[in-house]
Structure 1
Amino acid sequence: MTSPTKPLLFNAAPMFTASHGHHGQWRRPDAIDPEFNDVRLWIDLAKKLEEATFDGIFFPDVSGHHGPVDVPIDTIVEEGLQLPSNDPLLLLAALATHTENIGLAFTSNILQAHPFTFARQVSTLDHLSGGRASWNIVTGWQNNGARNFGLRSLPEHDSRYEWAEEYVEVAYKLWEGSWDEGALLKDKANSRFSDPAMVHKIFHEGPRYRVEGPHLPSPSLQRTPLLYQAGSSAAGRAFAARHAEGVFLMPDSPAGAAEQISQTRALAVEAGRRPEDLKFFPGLSFIVGDTEEEAQDKAEFVHSYVSVAGLLAHMAVVDDDGQAYPLDTPLSRVRTQAMQGTVERARSRITDREPIVEDLALELRSNPLVGTPEQIADALEEWRDAGVDGINVMSYVLGDYAEFADKVIPVLRERGLAKTAYGEGSYRRKLFGEDRLNDRHPAAAYRGAFSNGPRTWEEATA
């Protein structure tokens, strides 16, 4: 008897802006993305995704503009290249009131908010949503973003992960340790809202933060939100192995995903966790047609709107004046600190002539899964068999999500590759079977850690 098919998890991965990663698509006549300021657009989308039993809606985010600093940003502004963009945390609070089951995930980097304020915001969202808050932990990657928060430049890559270790430590202390279980009483008869013996200051003092506490919100259903991470470097994979529950991937094939998953699971075991403590989500885009011919025609239509200038500016392939290189510029004349691997890939692929910038743009352009719903399902079975747990569905335009929900999800359900109903409880319970982080996670070490702790800084530092 064969084992039952394992359903995939599905996240929608839009961005609170007009042009996320598929630059130029906002110009399409069918694109509603330029109206992203209208909350009704997002409410309708969230309801549609919940109807299709998507597990989460995940918002990437930025804290500054892309590309180099100290040069004009004309191309970025003209392209609407994640500029303008809005704060997804505020949007998720609105969506929480119009949905009941879908997970609410957002990106926030360690530079953009003090951990005390951030921990309070996340607990508030978890309360408002009934335990559906989720945080994608990032360390920042934009020099302009670093300057927006008082730094002269972006700190060195691995040092940002050292910073992140302290950042999450402060947050864990607040979420897991500041309030003991049962501290919240709401006892009207005895005039005791909370038990003072069970609410604690944390007295954290580290290289970057000095936080007294206590955590202002009472414990939410999850306490610590469901944790995502997307780092692909050695430092990023090690951080994910210690802290993440969901890991975002951008592999170029199922085999590439399988290799990354195997490596990260092994690191998780070294960190004292289990392989099943992490779930992996590659980001994929889809172009769906009722027939294969229709799907190919749609792909040509989509690709006709690709903005080469936008793609190159996103990846900082611009000249010293911040302008996109002309498409016929030889790659030997391109000077960029970004996308070195992509430049080399274009050079190795083209051997009969001098590669040009237009060739580089073709390397940057995504390779979506194109086909009928049945062909899409066939491809997703390959990804599932490679070991992925779920898919981050990345749209060209926001209308793609309704098409995926209406045409692809039913076929996936027939094959047992997509669920037909939600489970009970919080976002974490739906994915892992329990509302709280398990005892193997480093955050669990702070449960009860302050029960008999100091009451003053003097005691804490004695």
Structure 2
Amino acid sequence: MSSADSPAANTPLNVLQGTAATPQKYGYKPDGSKKRILLNAFDMNGIGHISAGQWRNPVDKSQTKNRLDYWIHLAKLLDRNGFNALFLADNFGSHDVYTGSHAPAIRAGSQWPLYDPFVIVCAMAAVTKSVAFGITACTTFEPPFILAKRFSTLDHVTNGRIAWNVVTSWSDNAARAMGMEKLPEHDLRYEIADEYLSLMYNRLWEGSWADDAVVKDTANGIFADPSKVRKIVHHGQFFKSESAHQVDPSPQRTPVIFQAGMSPAGAKFGAKHAECIFMGGMNPAIVAGKIAKTRELAKEQGRDPDGIKFFIQFTPIIAATDEEAQAKLEHHRQHAIPEGGLALFAGISGIDVSQFGLDEEFPTDLNDPRLERFAPGQRERLVARPRGYTSWTPRILGQYQTIGGSGNFYVGSGKTIADRIEEWITQADVDGFNIGHVAVPQAWEDVVEFLLPELKKRGWLGDGGYPVPGGTARENLNGKAGASRLDDSHPGSSFKFEVWDATKDYIGREEEKEDYVKAA
């Protein structure tokens, strides 16, 4: 049976109940054919990504993530079976909100230890041809020039199969790890990120080198024509950089841009910059409304609103039958560590639920005096509870969090899970799914064995292969051979070397503008 039909049903903690009376049907092209749905494997280079405690499950291989064999096996699996991308989450610092200590997270292995996601990509790219690699990197902590160089290098060595999941961070613990007192205020982080992206793709990736700058003239000893390599001078509110981009034009120039975050500031940022948006939520009707709003914001900025792809987190537990899938869930639960689930929940939400007794019922009223110390969003999160739960305590929350984290998960056969996926496609206007996991790499092996054949039979995966075999991430994302660069409606396109007018694009002090224009 599906988890939606049982007390194990997972509606995220911040879900808003209710569905549209007559859901709009999405998922079809103007000619009436079904659109090709995109599937990403959602992983993290470390222990306890979204299912705390599974490292002690005999079928789980997450303890081997610090060895290349794990990643090579996974990359080959995804590439053979037409997955759009391997989406690699990341985090900085340890989760230290629960009990005011990082001990619970470290003890349970809740996103601890974590390894760098960048260093494993080259090995995976060497054994694959088409699957893309989406890497999470933060605009709050790292200098833009260094990150631009790293992504361009990866875009070269992977033949253009790189995407960047842009995050601004949510953790003061991470900020302290980077030498800051705390994170900048929420909306300010997006202002910083906006300038960061402007410097990255507008000036370094797109505007610094002409397409034909590399000449490799052996007779005259000229590798690149200096007249076609522009020095970038950026004197902004948050960043200052003066240099040509160190890396020659890569296949995509700008990696495919992913973004997550549906706050007003996050939605505005995503509508401007993102090519793919990773969303949370369990109610298709509500998610459909958020997607429609973001598409409208994109249109207001002159972008093609249908050019943005929306992905929903979706963690399936699959087997040959519903009964076998339920048995698999029960097996996984035997290895879960609820304390680790609470550490993860508290770290992400900022709510230290140890302030409640382990078996104390959470409030059901936003005006409950016990909630006075929490911010409005935190109050809503504590008051909300998944469908099917008549009791909601820290102990139950911890158990709930150990299977797929706060995201939705479903339990059943390939047919049952395909039914749920179709609901999302036709009711929420999503373009793809970030497929989460409990045990790894079993989760995606099960998707290949039980789910993909059903989705192919229903016509949601095209012919099951890549639209552009061996193509770039952007070509396969949009199904268009030859379309490796940002589309014309994206703001980064106006900064391509051939069309960028430096005199009309200046960020900095007026007394420095003349030097800027001369250099540009």
| Cross-structure match for 1:102 | 131
| Cross-structure match for 1:445 | 494
Map 1:330-341 onto structure 2 (within 5 A).
330-331=361-362, 339-341=378-380
Name which of structure 1's ranges 160-169 and 85-94 shifts more when overlaid on structure 2: 85-94
Instruction: Verify: 1:413 aligned to 2:456, yes or no.
Output: yes
Instruction: Verify: 1:22 aligned to 2:59, yes or no.
Output: no
| Cross-structure match for 1:404 | 447
How far apart in 2 are the matches of 1:70 and 1:215? 46
AA of the residue aligned to 1:189: A
Q: Retained in 2: the 8 A contact 1:316–1:336?
A: no
| Cross-structure match for 1:9 | 38
| Cross-structure match for 1:32 | 61
AA of the residue aligned to 1:308: P
Name which of structure 1's ranges 402-411 and 120-129 shifts more when overlaid on structure 2: 402-411
Shift of the alpha carbon at 1:257? 2.4
CA 1:319–1:110 in structure 2 vs 1: closer, same or farther (change >3 Å)?
Answer: closer
Equivalent in 175, 178, 187 of residue 217 of structure 2? 187
Equivalent in 177, 192, 201 of residue 163 of structure 1? 192
Q: Over the residues paired in the alignment, what is the CA RMSD in angstroms?
A: 2.8
How far apart in 2 are the matches of 1:48 and 1:89? 19
Equivalent in 393, 396, 403 of residue 435 of structure 2? 393
How far apart in 2 are the matches of 1:254 and 1:356? 27
How far apart in 1 are the matches of 2:306 and 2:269? 16
How far apart in 1 are the matches of 2:86 and 2:413? 24
Give the secondary-structure state (helix, strand or coil) at the position aligned to 1:293. helix
* % identity of equivalent residues: 36
| Cross-structure match for 1:152 | 181
Instruction: Verify: 1:357 aligned to 2:394, yes or no.
Output: yes
User: Cα deviation per residue 1:148-186 (whole Å; 9 max; x = unaligned)?
Assistant: 222110111000000001111110110000001211111
Instruction: Verify: 1:224 aligned to 2:280, yes or no.
Output: no
User: Cα deviation per residue 1:51-73 (whole Å; 9 max; x = unaligned)?
Assistant: 11101001000122224399431
AA of the residue aligned to 1:271: Q
Give the secondary-structure state (helix, strand or coil) at the position aligned to 2:51. coil
AA of the residue aligned to 1:341: E
AA of the residue aligned to 1:389: D
User: Cα deviation per residue 1:195-218 (whole Å; 9 max; x = unaligned)?
Assistant: 111101110001121111100000
Give the secondary-structure state (helix, strand or coil) at the position aligned to 2:43. coil
Map 1:79-158 onto structure 2 (within 5 A).
79-158=108-187
AA of the residue aligned to 2:437: S
AA of the residue aligned to 1:42: W
Shift of the alpha carbon at 1:347? 11
| Cross-structure match for 2:94 | 65
| Cross-structure match for 2:270 | 240
How far apart in 2 are the matches of 1:320 and 1:388? 30
Shift of the alpha carbon at 1:116? 0.1
| Cross-structure match for 1:380 | 421
Give the secondary-structure state (helix, strand or coil) at the position aligned to 1:315. helix
| Cross-structure match for 2:472 | 426
Shift of the alpha carbon at 1:315? 2.1
Equivalent in 241, 252, 264 of residue 294 of structure 2? 264
Name which of structure 1's ranges 240-249 and 342-351 shifts more when overlaid on structure 2: 342-351
Map 1:447-462 onto structure 2 (within 5 A).
447-448=496-497, 459-460=515-516
With structure 1 as the length reference, what TM-score do the two structures score?
0.92
Ranges in structure 1 where 5+ consecutive residues have no aligned partner = none
Q: Retained in 1: the 8 A contact 2:98–2:354?
A: no
How far apart in 1 are the matches of 2:448 and 2:386? 39
Shift of the alpha carbon at 1:20? 0.3
User: Cα deviation per residue 1:379-421 (whole Å; 9 max; x = unaligned)?
Assistant: 2122111211111100111121111112211221122112422
Give the secondary-structure state (helix, strand or coil) at the position aligned to 1:6. coil
AA of the residue aligned to 1:142: S
Name which of structure 1's ranges 364-373 and 250-259 shifts more when overlaid on structure 2: 364-373
Give the secondary-structure state (helix, strand or coil) at the position aligned to 2:133. strand
Q: Retained in 1: the 8 A contact 2:208–2:229?
A: yes
CA 1:363–1:37 in structure 2 vs 1: closer, same or farther (change >3 Å)?
Answer: closer
Give the secondary-structure state (helix, strand or coil) at the position aligned to 1:316. helix
Q: Retained in 2: the 8 A contact 1:13–1:392?
A: yes
Instruction: Verify: 1:76 aligned to 2:105, yes or no.
Output: yes
Q: Retained in 2: the 8 A contact 1:343–1:360?
A: no
AA of the residue aligned to 1:380: I
Give the secondary-structure state (helix, strand or coil) at the position aligned to 2:206. helix
How far apart in 2 are the matches of 1:322 and 1:260? 29
Shift of the alpha carbon at 1:321? 9.4
Instruction: Verify: 1:306 aligned to 2:336, yes or no.
Output: yes
AA of the residue aligned to 2:421: L
CA 1:3–1:275 in structure 2 vs 1: closer, same or farther (change >3 Å)?
Answer: same
| Cross-structure match for 1:176 | 206
How far apart in 1 are the matches of 2:355 and 2:176? 23
Give the secondary-structure state (helix, strand or coil) at the position aligned to 2:243. coil
| Cross-structure match for 2:366 | none
AA of the residue aligned to 2:358: L
CA 1:91–1:457 in structure 2 vs 1: closer, same or farther (change >3 Å)?
Answer: farther
CA 1:320–1:251 in structure 2 vs 1: closer, same or farther (change >3 Å)?
Answer: closer
How far apart in 1 are the matches of 2:502 and 2:394? 63
CA 1:301–1:92 in structure 2 vs 1: closer, same or farther (change >3 Å)?
Answer: same
Shift of the alpha carbon at 1:322? 9.8
More relative contact order, 1 or 2 (CA 8 Å, 6+ apart):
2
Aligned length: 459
CA 1:32–1:266 in structure 2 vs 1: closer, same or farther (change >3 Å)?
Answer: same
Shift of the alpha carbon at 1:458? 6.0
Equivalent in 295, 307, 312 of residue 325 of structure 2? 295
AA of the residue aligned to 2:410: L
AA of the residue aligned to 2:297: L
How far apart in 2 are the matches of 1:348 and 1:44? 37
Give the secondary-structure state (helix, strand or coil) at the position aligned to 2:258. strand
Ranges in structure 2 where 5+ consecutive residues have no aligned partner = 1-29, 364-369, 507-511
Shift of the alpha carbon at 1:302? 2.5
How far apart in 1 are the matches of 2:336 and 2:99? 27
Q: Retained in 1: the 8 A contact 2:312–2:433?
A: yes
